[in-house]
Amino acid sequence: MTDLIRGLSIFLVGMMGTGKTTVGQVLAKQLGYRFFDTDVLIERVTQQSISEIFTIQGEEAFRDIESQILMEVCACTKSVIATGGGIVLRPKNWSYLRHGLVIWLDVPTNVLVQRLLLDTTRPLLQETELKPKLETLMDSRKRLYSEADLHISIENAQTPEEIVAQILDRIPLIILPEKASYSVKIEEN
């Protein structure tokens, strides 16, 4: 597999709670890649939590910082990058995401509700009715997530290791040779 993707980075996109961080860490380990999480990088550079940024500066300011971080991290090869759930919203972000392979982790909303119910830290999910909020977000984003190179539909009982196996099985079917050679050229510079 590492011969096939030759350092090409992998961006995981999808709704909050789909497992981008959990699956991304396992995938990075199996590929011998570094792992980044754009939300974590944002908190590190701003020295603020995502919630604080949303409350104090607002969502647009958060999206600006998110694009800036993505622009920087997309220059890295041999990396798995877990992205924030809304990274697909800005058209400009797609020019950064296209530096690598974009994989959409797609989990049914009822499973996301169970996973996110106990987590009150996500600023876009502060409403009492979590399921309708997630469904509305998903409706407005589904078309964007489906622009990914690879769509991974995840069932409730699948472990992160099983999801990674599914991803690694499917990458050879979609890899574009020119993308992999592009990434090798960056490394040589």
Ligand X SMILES: Nc1ncnc2c1ncn2[C@@H]1O[C@H](COP(=O)(O)OP(=O)(O)OP(=O)(O)O)[C@@H](O)[C@H]1O
Ligand Y SMILES: O=C(O)C1=C[C@@H](O)[C@@H](O)[C@H](O)C1
List, as residue ranges, the binding site: 17-22, 39, 63, 85, 122, 141, 158
Query: Which alpha helices (H) appear in 18-108, and where do they start and end?
Result: 20-31, 38-46, 50-56, 59-73, 91-97
Q: Which of 8, 10, 13, 16 is the binder for ligand X (CB under 6 A)? A: 16
**Cβ 3 to ligand Y shortest distance, Å:** 32
90-119 binders of ligand X (CB under 6 A): 115
> Could you give the C-alpha distances from 38 to 110, 158, 171, in angstroms and in order?
25, 24, 23
Beta strands in 44-186 (DSSP E): 79-82, 101-106, 150-153
Q: Which of 90, 115, 122, 170 is the binder for ligand Y (CB under 6 A)? A: 122
The reply on whether position 39 binds ligand Y by CB under 6 A is yes
The reply on whether position 17 binds ligand Y by CB under 6 A is no
8 A C-beta contact, residue 71 and residue 96: yes
- For the window 68-107, what string marks contact with ligand Y as x by the rule CB under 6 A? ----------------xxx---------------------
Cβ atoms within 10 Å, residue 95 = 12
Token pair of 52 as six digits: 């604080």
Phi-psi region of 19 (alpha: psi -120 to 50; beta: other; left: phi over 0): left
3-state secondary structure of 81: strand
Number of H helices, E strands in the chain: 10, 5
Q: Which of 7, 9, 36, 39 is the binder for ligand X (CB under 6 A)? A: 39
Q: Closest CB to ligand Y among 121 and 181? A: 121
Binding residues for substrate: 39, 63, 85, 141
**Which spans of this chain sit near ligand X (rule: CB under 6 A)?**
16-22, 39, 82, 84-85, 115, 122, 158-160, 163
**Which spans of this chain sit near ligand Y (rule: CB under 6 A)?**
16, 39, 50, 84-86, 122-124
